Structures are given as structure tokens and as C-alpha cells.
Amino acid sequence: MSDNRNTILAVILSGLVLIGWQYFYNAPQMEKQRAAQQAQSELAKPAPQPGSTTAPATTPQTGAAPAPSANAPATNQPASAAPVVGRDSAIASTPRVKIDTPRVTGSISLKGARIDDLSLVQFRETVDPSSPPIVLYSPSGTANPYYAEFGWVPAAGSTIKLPDRDTLWQQEGTGSLTPSSPLTLKYDNGDGLTFRRTIAIDDRYLFSIKDDVTNVGNAPVTLYPFALISRHGTPQVAGYYILHEGLIGYLGDQGLQEYGYKKIDDAKAVSFKVTNGWLGITDKYWASALLPDTNAQLQARFSSNLVGSIRTYQTDYLEDPQTIAIGGSASANARLFAGAKEASVVGINFPLAGLGGYNKQLGLNHFDLLIDWGWFYFITKPMFLALDFFYHLVGNFGVSILLVTVLVKLLFFPLANKSYASMAKMKSVQPQLAALKERYPDDKVKQQQEMMEIYKKEKINPIAGCLPVALQIPVFFSLYKVLFVTIEMRHAPFFGWIKDLSAPDPTNLFNLFGLFPFDPTHVPLFGYYLVLGVWPIIMGITMWFQMKLNPTPPDPTQKMIFDWMPLIFTFMLAGFPAGLVIYWAWNNLLSVLQQSFIMRRNGVKVELFDNLRATFASKKAT
């Protein structure tokens, strides 16, 4: 009766684990994917036309430069609200200078001299190489304005005329902004101040901005250099605790500062007075960051402001003031990173990593943390470096995962050998354990005492079977993190139907792998649970083989749990990145081969196929 009760309890608990995982992991993930798809569909709709019966949405027009006085307004207030227009229409409405590099295309608006039109041409929205490129920046007036702005602000109380968002700059010379041809803009305020801005870009994602001011007026002028990144509207985020999306910066001795959108909404604004810092806004794969001179004194700030019904987010900084004497001049330098968070570009601060990127090139303060390596960076970074190393050898991240799995197995070979040897001894004493149950059928305590004596005599560790699984946990986590956060894994194909190792297996058993043209995940009530691709099934089968290779637990409850575990893990991992499932399946197969070899070496018969036949035979008899 007690065994039956334990068995029923084990089945119920296993089912609850499966249902809970599907509800708390797969369901939210699918909802976020659907929300993102719906948001993309809404953005693709044409803007309302004049005379339309639908009232047009409005969007804030601009952010505001930070103010040098704490008493002056410093939030990103709009000048006005205007109807949302299409991105192409907004770009065409102002004179512009084209940006043309191997990785970035777009334009700089001569009105306000903003960098507000950027697309990352090497990255596409989907795995289809003909899909649109990733759009990073968009100008004011569009559905999701996102831009960077640089310049000067006057001292508190000054009425001097400075260039602002409405200023029309003049281009000196002609041509586009390219890695070999900088752009120079000029503005004369008519009161003795002439402003020149030189913008350069490298062949990756770094803009260098130099602002020069000459004063031929009749009085000295005090100005503060500033830079800002403004984003309007709360973006759709992945929403996972292992990934930060939102405002970020490494601010001097105050270290890494991360403010998600909800957190900064609650805080309204936070300020920092630091040296040797950088700050910006990060998405999962893309980021925009201000990189001032490392020795500059900064009044840095994160802020959130509600304008009508739209949230606007801003990161900005002010540098120390510069007083420009009559006949004198002043200059300020700024840098902007706007692009993909590639490890080779951003940099990896890790011994022997060999990936310095901007972090080393510019002498920045932990710019590598723009990529969210997490608290266990000492595991995730080596995992990425190993995957990247093998990728450059074989040209396929899926094959790289297989090779790294072999490497991990070799590293843990001594520990795994001890574990499997102990399991082999446990299998050899199975007849003695069975005899104990016959000798003391009603005395469970005596059975346990005698069993422990046998284990002690034969030097068997009864929990040795847990060690191989326990060893996988840090590897599993680090691989999951790398697959989830690094852009190198985005849209990385394997073979066959796996076109993106960072996404779940796209096939599904419940529509017979595409034979029936419907999406089972849309079935009411049960759709969340109807997700099971080919690779998760392969993983479940290899895990089942591994379980059948182990000695049968003497306790019926443990046996039931082990029997159900492959099925539970199959459904649990169905929503994980395909690369992770491939790793687990390959690791299981290697474990079966390794364990079989060790059992034979210890003189224990490998009864894998006998156990499989016995399983099906018992089911048939039932």
C-alpha cells in the first residue's frame, strides 16, 4: 500500500512539474513572441492619411539637452506632438547626408544634426537573407523615435543663441559619410559664434564627433558640452531575468548601473557625477552607447518621462563648462557606439581572450559588460570563447557545440569515470539487494541498514548516478546563456531544418511535423503544451537510453521518477533554443558510450537492450 501511494505521488508530482514548466516558461515565451509579431505588424501598417476618419497617433518630437543647473528643466520634454508618419516619409522630410559603411547605412539630418537614421545591413529581421535589415535609429515623428544628439548648452540664465533641434546646419563639401570621408557641418548663430561639427565613422559601429566653437563676438561665452540618446515609447523586451534590457552604464567607481524600463519609470531620474564612464540603452542584441573621453568629468543621468501617453527614455551627460574668450575657441569630443553587440567588436575582458574590441582599443571602463554575460561570467565567457574558436575552424556553430561537448566530456572524464564505476558496482550488487527484500519483506528499516552495509563494503556511492547530471548543470546554464544573449548565435544554422540555433526547434509532432497545415500552439487551453520538435524527441530518446543503462532503483518511487524523467525533460526542453537541445542529446549519447565502456571494463554486463526489451515486455504483459 505504501509503495502504491508513493508511486501515485511520484506520478502526480512529475505531472505538476511538467505543467508548471509549460505554464511559467513556454506560455510566457509564446505570448511574448506573439506580442512582438503583433507589434511588428502594427508598425508595418501605413500611417493615417489626411481626411482619414481615424484620429492619428501622436509622438513626442524631441528630447532636451541636459541642463547645467539642477534647478533647470532636464527631462526630455517635447516641443510639440505631431501625427505619426511613416519612417520613409519622416526621413524624406528633412535634408540629409547619407551614411554608407559596410555594416551601417542611414543618414544624418541636417536639421538638428541628429544621428537618427541607422540600419544594420549585416543583420536581418528573420533567417531569410532577403528580409529587411535591422532598424536601430528612427527620426522624430515616426512610431518609435530613437536617436543620438550632441552639442552645447549655455550656463543657467544665459540667452545666447545655440544650435538646437530646429537648427539647419550646412554641409561643408559634398558626399556621404563613409569610413574614409568624414562629414563637416557648420552653423553661424549671427552673434559672433561659429559652430563646426566633424563626424567620422569607422568600418564597424563607432561614430566620433568633434565640436568646435569660435567666438568673434563682444563677450566671453561659457558653454557645457553634452551628449544624449533618446528613445520614445517603451520597447518590447524579452522579459527574462537572465537578460538586462534598458538603460545601462559603467559609471566610474559606482560600477555597472542597470535600469530596466519599469525600474527607471519608478525612479523618474537618477544622476551620477563620475569620471571614466559610459552609458546608453541596450536591447538583447543591439545597443546605443555614449563613450565620452575616459578622463572627462561627467554629470551623467538616466531618465524617464511621460509625455501624454508615451514614455520617453534618455541617457545623457554634461561635461565641465568651457569659457570661450573673445577671439578664442573651444572644442569637445564625443563618441557614439550604435550597432550590434558583437563580442569581437565590443570586446571581452577575460584572460587570454584575444578579443579586445572597443573596450581595449579605446581604453574604456568594462565596455564588455554591454553584453550581459551575467553573474557567472567566469563560466559563460569561456563557453563563448570555446564555441567561437571551433566555429572559426569548422564554420558552423552547431558543429562547434558538438565539439565543445566532447571537450567538456574530456575535462570531466576523471570525475565521470568514478561516477560510472560506482554505478557499475551498484549494478553488480543488484542480486544482493534483491535478496535483502526477500529476507526482510516487511522491515524497510532493516533493508536500508543492510543495503548501506553492502554499499560500504563494496565502496559504492549510492548518489554517484547524480554526478553526471550535476556536472552538466553549469555547462547547461552557460551554454543557455551564450545561446540566449550573444548575437553570434542569432540566426546561426545547423543542418536540415534548424536555421537558427538560438530559437526552438520549429518542427512539431502535433501537426505531424508540418504534414497538417495548422499551428497546434493556437489550440485553446492546451496550445501551450502542444510544442514538441524533432530534436527534443531525439534528446528524450537518448536520455531514456541513458536511464535504461543505469541500475534499476530498488525503491518503486525512485524507479517511477526515473522512468518519467525523460518524458518530463523532453517537454521542458521543447521550448529551449535548438542548440541547447542538440547539446543535451549529443551529451546523452556520449554518456551512454562512455558508461558502457566503463561497465565493460569493470566486468559488468551492459544490459541496455535487455532492459529495453524487458520494459516493452512488461508493458505488453500488462
- According to DSSP, the residues that pair with 275 across neighbouring strands are 297
CB 243 within 8 A of CB 284: yes
Residues 361 and 389 in one domain: no
Model-wide pTM > 0.85: no
CA quadruple 190, 195, 196, 201: dihedral positive or negative? negative
User: What is the structure's pLDDT at 271?
Assistant: 95
Q: Which residue among 367, 394, 422 closes a domain?
A: 367
User: What is the structure's pLDDT at 294?
Assistant: 94
CA–CA dist 229, 207 (Å, integer) = 13
* Residue 376 placed within a domain: no
Residues 249 and 350 in one domain: yes
* Percent of the chain residues topping a pLDDT of 90: 51
* Residue 247 placed within a domain: yes
| Helix, strand, coil percentages for the chain (3-state, nearest 5) | 40, 25, 35
DSSP letter at 138 equals B
User: What is the structure's pLDDT at 528?
Assistant: 67
Mean pLDDT of all residues in 267-296: 95
Residue type, position 114, single letter: R
Residues 242 and 358 in one domain: yes
Residues 325 and 466 in one domain: no
User: What is the structure's pLDDT at 604?
Assistant: 64
User: What is the structure's pLDDT at 45?
Assistant: 41
Mean pLDDT of the residues in the chain: 82
Residues 308 and 424 in one domain: no
Nearest CA to 313 out of 251, 261, 263, 266 is that of 261
CB 579 within 8 A of CB 478: no
CB 588 within 8 A of CB 407: no
* Residue 213 placed within a domain: yes
Instruction: Give yes or no for residue 44 having a pLDDT over 60.
Output: no
Specify the 3-state DSSP secondary structure of 324. Answer: strand
CA–CA dist 362, 364 (Å, integer) = 5
* Residue 137 placed within a domain: yes
The larger pLDDT score, comparing residue 372 to residue 458, is at: 372
Residues 268 and 343 in one domain: yes
147 phi/psi in degrees, rounded to 5: -160, 170
Kindly tell me the burial class for residue 312, based on how many C-beta atoms sit within 10 Å of its own C-beta (0-12, 13-18, 19 or more). Answer: buried
| Segments forming the whole domain that contains residue 490 | 382-621
CB 500 within 8 A of CB 578: yes
Instruction: Give yes or no for residue 507 having a pLDDT over 80.
Output: yes
Packing angle of the helix pair 466-485, 578-601 (nearest 10 deg): 160
* Residue 1 placed within a domain: no
Predicted confidence (pLDDT) per residue in 306-329, tens digit: 888 889 999 999 999 999 999 999
User: What is the structure's pLDDT at 423?
Assistant: 67
CA quadruple 548, 552, 553, 558: dihedral positive or negative? positive
User: What is the structure's pLDDT at 319?
Assistant: 96
Q: What is the DSSP string of 11-39?
A: HHHHHHHHHHHIIIIIHHHHHHHHHHHHH
Q: Enter the C-alpha cell of residue 493.
A: 544554422
Residues 267 and 411 in one domain: no
Nearest CA to 229 out of 211, 249, 251 is that of 249
Domains in the chain: how many in total?
2
